[in-house]
Amino acid sequence: MLLTVFVLLGIFFAFILLGVPIAVCIALSSLITLMLSMPFEFATTTLAQRLVGGLDSFTLLSIPFFIMSGYLMGRGGIAERLIEAAKALIGTVPGGLALVNTLSCMLFGSISGSAVAATSAIGSFMIPKMEEEGYDRDFSTAVTVTGSILGLLIPPSNVLIVYAVAAGGVSIAALFMAGYVPGIIAGVALMIVAAIYSKHHNFPVSERIPLRIAIYKVLDAGPSIFMVVIVVVGIVAGLFTATEASAVAVVYGLALTLHYGEISIRDLPSVMLKSIETTAIVLLLIGVSSGMAWVLAYENIPQSISEYMLGISDNPLVILLMINVILLLVGIFLDITPAILIFTPIFLPVATDLGMSPIHFGIMLVLNLSIGLCTPPVGSVLFVGCAVAGTTIQRLIRPLKMLYLALIGVLLLVTFFPTLSEGLPNALGLLS
């Protein structure tokens, strides 16, 4: 078993260090590992079958639709409306613009389903605005980067759907509800740290907005936020499946952006092309990762790792800390989608042996790997934030540290207190 693990992961990370595309890394490492126990012809045929079989899922149909709805909302002037609404609500407290930035990133990340899109859309507007108001550029960028990843926990979230598939059909409705409380707690933690940092550095407080204008700005952003309400309530109430909800999101997003006049019918081909490109990448990763997951199961690796880790310690707290540390390291070098697909079949059996539910583990996993997106030196969201702000990762590390520690603190809370992720879906009767 150890030889198989070393061969699989060794080849995988060797290809990554050589700059080979991640999908090719997964496919080749799986194929070479499989060839240790079966002939080449049988290995290639089996892996190809598993790759295609991994895409044979009705649930996966929701991913291209949610991706397209995210692109539509991103082109529809939604970011500016969300920022203005957030400014009207919390912009006048100490560190107000930093709090507005965090809240806007959370909302836009939830609507678009992409941390990178949230960083780009909100950051391109808020970072110059905060700098103009007297905030430090590096701090503003750090706030944008850390706030953007929280949208991955707040539905509708593509990565939660990917986890549901990787975990073998976990309830998407339960996962969606489970992400709310941890996502909000993480957002509040970031806001508290940002407010303290802002007050300590004497950043300015924005002027109070007249109540009439504040109400108008909140109502103006209402239709954008309502898309999330339609999708989540529809799924939880059983009005439609996640796939049907994604189609509803596309229709609603298209109608809203056309109504705002930020996009025209002539722009739709470019939006569809970007959606197709992104979908192709995601589904290719899902396919090859399904093949790797089958190789892991064929070689009995998850069960062996579970026995090995339980042999190190019978204390669940110690084992969960070990899993979190490993996932944090993985998240630094590997994007969140392939990481979920590769490590869910490895660590989920360990977690369930400890009495952890797949819902609880999924939220912990997604939050952990999301933190990796803003972790130096490879975090993809971190790179986008630096590019938008025109700064460097080295300059970003100092203001990022306290925000990062806040996220780690929330991760530990989510890990050791299952009620934070299971309480809401349990109250709604979504957990069997």
Residues 382, 289 within the same domain: yes
Residue 94 has pLDDT above 80, yes or no: no
Residues 40, 103 within the same domain: no
Q: Which of 271, 262, 227 is nearest to 113 (CA)?
A: 227
Name the domain boundary from 54, 71, 92. Answer: 54
**What residues make up the domain containing 187?**
59-427
Residues 159/366, Cβ–Cβ less than 8 Å: yes
Residues 49, 66 within the same domain: no
Residues 5, 130 within the same domain: no
Residues 216, 105 within the same domain: yes
Mean pLDDT in residue range 332-337: 81
Residue 204 domain flag: yes
Residue 327 domain flag: yes
Residues 95, 15 within the same domain: no
* Cα–Cα distances in angstroms (integers) from residue 113 to residues 35, 209, 291, 354, 370, in the given order: 38, 30, 26, 31, 13
- Confidence tier at 91 by pLDDT (50, 70, 90): low
Name the domain boundary from 14, 36, 54. Answer: 54
Quick check: pTM over 0.75?
A: yes
Residues 251, 396 within the same domain: yes
Residues 245, 300 within the same domain: yes
pLDDT at residue 81, rounded to an integer: 80
Residue 432 domain flag: no
Residue type (1 letter), 29: S
- Confidence tier at 236 by pLDDT (50, 70, 90): confident
Give the DSSP letter of residue 291.
Answer: H
Residues 101, 74 within the same domain: yes
What residues have CB less than 8 Å from 339, skipping those under 6 apart?
327, 330, 331, 369, 372
Tell me the pLDDT tens digit for each residue of 1-10: 567 777 887 8
Name the domain boundary from 54, 74, 89. Answer: 54
pLDDT at residue 1, rounded to an integer: 59
Cα separation, 122 vs 116, whole angstroms: 10
Residues 3, 96 within the same domain: no
Residue 134 has pLDDT above 80, yes or no: yes
pLDDT at residue 432, rounded to an integer: 66
Residue 356: both structure tokens together: 């952890």
Residue 241 has pLDDT above 70, yes or no: yes
Residues 49, 65 within the same domain: no
pLDDT at residue 85, rounded to an integer: 81
Residue 378 has pLDDT above 70, yes or no: no
Residue 114: both structure tokens together: 């992409």
Cα separation, 386 vs 204, whole angstroms: 23
Cα separation, 156 vs 308, whole angstroms: 36
Residue in the block written with tokens 């204390």: 315
- Min mean pLDDT across 173-177, 192-196, 285-289, 348-352 is at 285-289
Residue 197 domain flag: yes
Bigger pLDDT: 171 vs 133: 171
Classify residue 22 by burial, with Cβ atoms within 10 Å: 0-12, 13-18, 19+. Answer: buried
Cα separation, 201 vs 128, whole angstroms: 18
Residues 23, 73 within the same domain: no
Tally of domains within the chain: 2
Residue 397 domain flag: yes
